[in-house]
Amino acid sequence: MIRNYTDIKVFTCNAHPVLAQEIAQKLDVTLGKSEVMKFSDGEISVKIDEKVRGTDVYIIQPTSTPANEHLMELLIMIDAMKRASAGRITAVLPYYGYARQDRKTRARDPISSKLVADILQTAGADRVLTMDLHCAQIQGFFNIPVDHLVGMPLLTKYYADKLGEHVDDVVAVSPDLGSVGRVRSFATKLDIPLAIIDKRRPKANVSEIMNIIGDVSGKRVILVDDMIDTAGTICNAANALKERGATAVYACCTHGVLSGPAMERIESSAIEELVILNTIAIPEEKKISKIKEISVAPIFADAIRRIHEDLSVSKLFD
């Protein structure tokens, strides 16, 4: 039976309240009243301060650093909503943590992204809304609907506006073989050629050898990836491209995890500008001049509106 929910209510935990507020404003609704607190021993407590019975509830919470804490906040809020008789509960994860643990690469490895999917469903989520999963097949780990948004249209629009018609000397570059499909789509949208970096490590503790497939000499290059964590891959790639004659190196990604030595590496690398979508909250101390953020609030707000009104979400991929 199809049920029409009369109200949209948007709530947030503590991972990214700024993004949640932006999404609520785009939807022309007030951010839901709730509190996510801790007891003195570190246990998480959630309090919902308004009626949600029968409503269409969306909880905004990227499971970014600290991943375990933010995941528990989301699970407990989902449980609170379910026990408060919310009509439908959608977990909105702009960034889905544990996505890199999507398969067994050696004996006795866990498949943690599947475990997270099971836990979200057990907590009471009726559907999931996310963006640029590290591995798209993770959608199959769920037995509930998953709407998988892509950040590519936001990035291609930014560079189309930035570059205009002056793209004769621009090349899109994949930092590794696993990102070729994503970068090919990016290059096609901007009508620019593609180059690929083939990384090889001859033996342990020996620097990577970079083989670049394609012409980058005398070109402005744009490195495209889904996420940047410690920034080793993207910075090594940028430096290799500069050594091979690239005149300028830009980079972009959907998820700016930026952990460990990432900031020092980016600062000292050949990257002139790094464009990141704000799926993860970036602390003030990491907002350096090289980094530019683009908000994903418009696309998430459109997706929520379409889900609520039973319209196609795939239109947002164009």
* Residues marked as catalytic: 199
- What is the enclosing helix (H) or strand (E) of 315? none
Distance, in Å, from the CA atom of 127 to the CA atom of 91, rounded to the nearest integer, reads 6
- What is the enclosing helix (H) or strand (E) of 212? strand 209-213
Neighbours of 67 (CB within 10 A): 16
Distance, in Å, from the CA atom of 24 to the CA atom of 16, rounded to the nearest integer, reads 13
Rg (CA), the chain: 21
- The helix-helix angle for 152-163 and 180-190 (nearest 10°) equals 40
3-state secondary structure 236-298: HHHHHHHHCCCCEEEEEEEEECCCCCHHHHHHHCCEEEEEEEECCCCCHHHCCCCEEEECCHH
